[in-house]
């Protein structure tokens, strides 16, 4: 009998060959001059097209949204053309791919911002975090608070990016609202100290997320928009809201107003422990969702098989295993050994540690 993990699934309007997803993975290999994808990206994503769904590395919606060196954008014609080449190749290989739309907010450095300006955020509160500037990891810069009259521009940037992603031939988009980046910064009272319509109450702090999501759905229609959230993570020093469950319960209610492709949760600390603090309840949020549920964070083969078979998740997103194993789906199906990850080549560089990981030997799959 075929395990449920390997069976076809519809994430909204996106028909997947299996329930294995390649999670968004920042690799810092875009063309440094204009943040466009290059031929190397075409090969990298096509190698992994056997996943039921590929989610691109986080892709900034505007120059202001950039927080790391050589991360790709989706706001210029050259960037759209670069991504179109990726999509054409992935689709020719039978794959499905969505773009993760990203604004980092305060997780940036003045050297990465237009004209060396300060990054923007809900409030002028520095993050005790670091970013990659091309030579190493440096402390993030103190941001300036966005003005009330700038909020419409931020939403317009999300809309423009969604339109460009559609023009580039993606199968959908994922709104990045996780891991301490801009939308997550607005959600939490640790980083949002505003007293206007975008601060204070939970409803106000969730307003920008709601407006950005509505813009994406307006562009893409039903079943083509997903969202990533990290309710139980303090990634990028964002900290925990005073009432996490009430906050993200309200966010789930917003999501339930739309016919989404999926909702993607980081379960626990991003890249860390899956254990939750007292009072945190993943199942309470998961069972409240109407959209298909994508689980992420620390999944191995056994946990993935059991979680999908039990119905606790519809899809499982794998991150680092997909870096080192372009044929991860085949390896999981065969219960074959996995390549080891070369951590030194994760961020920046060329093909080494990017497109040169070996495929499973045919004798292992026999």
Residues tagged active-site = 181
Q: Are 348 and 28 in contact (CB under 8 A)?
A: yes
What is the 3-class SS of 13-80, one letter each residue?
Answer: CEEECCCEEECCCCCCCCECCCCECCHHHHHHHHHCCCCCEEECCCEECCHHHCCCCCCCECCCHHHH
Q: How far apart are alpha carbons 177 and 226 in whole angstroms?
A: 10
Give the residues across from 9 on adjacent strands.
16
Nearest to 211 by CA among 265, 148, 165: 148
Give, in order, the Cα–Cα distances in Å from 290 to each of 190, 281, 314. Answer: 28, 17, 12
Report the 10 Å Cβ neighbour count for 124.
14
């Amino acid at each position: 009998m075929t395990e449920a993990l390997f069976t076809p699934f519809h994430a909204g309007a996106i028909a997947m060959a299996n329930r294995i997803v390649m999670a968004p993975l920042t690799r810092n290999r875009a063309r440094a001059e204009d943040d466009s994808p290059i031929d190397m990206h075409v090969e990298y994503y096509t190698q992994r097209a056997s996943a039921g769904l590929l989610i691109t590395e986080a892709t900034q919606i505007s120059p202001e949204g950039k927080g790391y060196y050589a991360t790709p954008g989706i706001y210029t014609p050259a960037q759209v053309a670069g991504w179109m080449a990726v999509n054409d190749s992935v689709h020719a290989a039978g794959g499905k791919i969505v773009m993760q739309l990203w604004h980092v907010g305060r997780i940036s450095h003045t050297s990465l911002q237009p004209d060396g300006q300060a990054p923007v955020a809900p409030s002028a509160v520095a993050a005790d975090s670091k970013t990659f500037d091309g030579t190493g990891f440096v402390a993030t810069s103190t941001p300036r608070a966005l003005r009330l009259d700038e909020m419409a521009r931020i939403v317009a940037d999300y809309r423009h990016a969604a339109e460009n992603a559609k023009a580039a031939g993606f199968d959908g988009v994922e709104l990045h609202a996780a891991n301490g980046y801009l939308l997550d910064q607005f959600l939490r009272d640790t980083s949002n100290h505003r007293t206007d319509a975008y601060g204070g109450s939970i409803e106000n702090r969730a307003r920008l997320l709601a407006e950005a999501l509505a813009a994406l759905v307006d562009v893409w229609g039903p079943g083509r928009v997903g969202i990533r959230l990290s309710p139980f993570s303090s990634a990028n020093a964002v900290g925990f809201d005073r009432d996490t469950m009430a906050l993200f319960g309200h966010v789930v209610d917003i999501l339930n107003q739309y016919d989404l492709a999926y909702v993607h949760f980081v379960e626990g600390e991003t890249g860390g422990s899956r254990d939750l603090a007292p009072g945190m309840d993943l199942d309470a949020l998961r069972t409240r969702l109407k959209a298909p549920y994508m689980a992420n964070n620390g999944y191995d083969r056994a946990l993935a098989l059991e979680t999908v078979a039990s119905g606790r998740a519809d899809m499982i997103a794998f991150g680092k295993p997909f870096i080192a194993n372009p044929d991860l789906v085949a390896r999981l199906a065969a219960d074959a050994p996995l390549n080891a990850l070369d951590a030194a080549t994760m961020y920046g560089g060329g093909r080494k540690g990017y497109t040169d990981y070996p495929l499973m030997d045919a004798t292992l799959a026999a």
